[in-house]
Chains A and B, each alone.
Chain A
Amino acid sequence: DQQVKQNSPSLSVQEGRISILNCDYTNSMFDYFLWYKKYPAEGPTFLISISSIKDKNEDGRFTVFLNKSAKHLSLHIVPSQPGDSAVYFCAASATNTGNQFYFGTGTSLTVIP
């Protein structure tokens, strides 16, 4: 069962432009969402999170938007930098599952200098 979906396996963006990574989920019980970033040969590292009581959370160049009615969230990176090139995973959790996160399959972002 794929409760969290990232339908774009890859995305290429010019340096300085906006990167938009999308994520959809099916479980309406999910109330906390995170984005992780993963470089080759490294484990995922936390990037930004949002709880279901908010519809936007911003941290520097990274903003996450949550649309609960559409069960959709997106990560915006602006301006994109070459160092942002990585695989981005969306993850979701429900209060009753503690810290069991459900991950999407990831989107590989390439920022072209």
Chain B
Amino acid sequence: EPEVTQTPSHQVTQMGQEVILRCVPISNHLYFYWYRQILGQKVEFLVSFYNNEISEKSEIFDDQFSVERPDGSNFTLKIRSTKLEDSAMYFCASGSTRQINEKLFFGSGTQLSVL
């Protein structure tokens, strides 16, 4: 079965540093998402991306965050200046349509630890 892959699985960084989380969505999917889960809390929506632009974003997704699909296969999330509260598991997801009944396929996540 096709899958969404994320790298790295773990990322440790110093506060204030920039990090880039990488994702390779399923190849024929057109809609891409980032979610995150802070330890012990719910999975939270960050951003959705379609046709090379952001479709929706949450309040969490402020100016410190950006997304990019640089080469038609990768989908990246950049955090410019990390804060302690950015520590979380970040999940990339993709879907083939924007139909309401479309399930999302999630990657296994990148655990980001900001020290």
- Do the beta carbons of B44 and A44 come within 8 Å of each other? no
Within the complex, which residue of B48, B98, B101 is in contact with A49, where a contact is CB–CB below 8 Å?
A: B101
Within the complex, which residue of A32, A41, A44 is in contact with B106, where a contact is CB–CB below 8 Å?
A: A44
- Do the beta carbons of B43 and A89 come within 8 Å of each other? yes
Chain A residues positioned under 8 Å from B104 (CB to CB): 46, 99, 101
Given contacts A32-B101, A44-B91, contact A100 B45 (CB under 8 A): yes
Within 8 A of B (CB), among A61-113: 89, 91, 93, 95, 97-106
- Do the beta carbons of B100 and A93 come within 8 Å of each other? yes
CA distance A43 to B95 in the complex (A): 15
Closest 3 CB pairs of A and B: A43-B106, A103-B43, A46-B103
Contact with A along B73-111 (1 / 0, CB 8 A): 000000000000000000101010010111111111100
